Amino acid sequence: MNKLVEVASAIGALSLSSNAVVNTLLKKALAQLLGMIEHLQISGHIQLINIKMPANAGTFYTVLLKVSALDLVNTDYFFEIMVPVEETEALSPNFDAMGYESMYAI
């Protein structure tokens, strides 16, 4: 029984120390990645400003916003069941094109 306790203690100490090393190594890389995602979200919303841009650029920004928001799984069905609110119109055609079909933000 003592041998099992010693093995478990050694495994716990090893996992804690390896976790600390990996956390230290990946901290800067993940912070940089999250910073890039934040900038992608800001640049993805540039279509909401009334500036003239080609249609292919609008499509590019729409896809870029979906990827940068990490909205790869459609969860609208669950929100409709859990939060029953009446639908409203989009604020402008630009908002509708970017996927903000309603004035509610969840």
Q: pTM score > 0.85 for this model? A: no
Q: Are 40 and 64 in contact (CB under 8 A)?
A: yes
Domain count across the chain = 1
Question: What pLDDT is stored for residue 86 in this prediction?
Answer: 79
Distances (CA, A) of 23 to 17, 63, 79, 84: 10, 31, 34, 41
Note whether residue 6 is domain-resident. yes
* pLDDT, averaged across the chain: 79
Question: What is the end-to-end Cα distance of the chain in Å, rounded?
Answer: 53
What range defines the domain where residue 60 resides? 2-72
In the predicted model, is pLDDT for residue 64 greater than 80?
no
Note whether residue 22 is domain-resident. yes
